Amino acid sequence: MPGPLSAPHHPTTPSPITQPPNYPATDLPQKPVPSPLVISDIWSLCDRADTLPWQPFRPGVDIYRLYGDSTGPSAALLRYAPGAQVPHHDHTGYEHILVLSGSQRDQHQTYPAGSLVINAPDSDHWVASDDGCLVLVMWEKPVAIRE
């Protein structure tokens, strides 16, 4: 049975390449085609969240990285315990947050499940969850924590 996050089973064979005249195919570099990361039924992910290998991120906030790290474009699931928060931080690129369950708030308003929040470059905020939440977050560039 596939896990909560799975990629379709595709062989990693190179894509066909149209050859220029008089250039043998065996001399071209071959590059495997990566399979997409697929999150099936994202709205029920909270029911399967305990099956993921979470890592500590901030006190009361766990992270499951989907791709990338803290040096460039990245995406992750964040799981907030009730009362947890992420300190005030600056956005050096776009940040997209999709609230999957629970609710999250910042200095602007409270965002219930189903909210998509897009923070622009050069914006800033702090984030807290009074009752706990699960969010999908995508960062274009790293954020700068104001600690």
Tens-digit pLDDT profile for residues 9-35: 444 434 333 445 555 555 666 778 888
Per-residue CA distances from 10 to 21, 33, 39, 42 (Å): 30, 9, 16, 22
The residue type found at 68 is: G
- The DSSP 8-state label assigned to residue 27 in this structure reads G
Query: What digits encode the pLDDT tens for the residues 80-129?
Result: 999 999 988 888 899 999 999 999 999 999 999 999 999 999 988 899 99
3-class secondary-structure state, position 135: strand
- pLDDT (mean) for 52-81: 92
Is the distance from CB of 89 to CB of 139 less than 8 angstroms?
A: no
39, pLDDT greater than 90: no
CATH code, residues 41-145: 2.60.120.10
pTM comes to: 0.75
pLDDT score, position 27: 61
Query: What digits encode the pLDDT tens for the residues 104-117?
Result: 999 999 999 999 99
pLDDT score, position 13: 38
Domain boundaries, the chain: 41-145
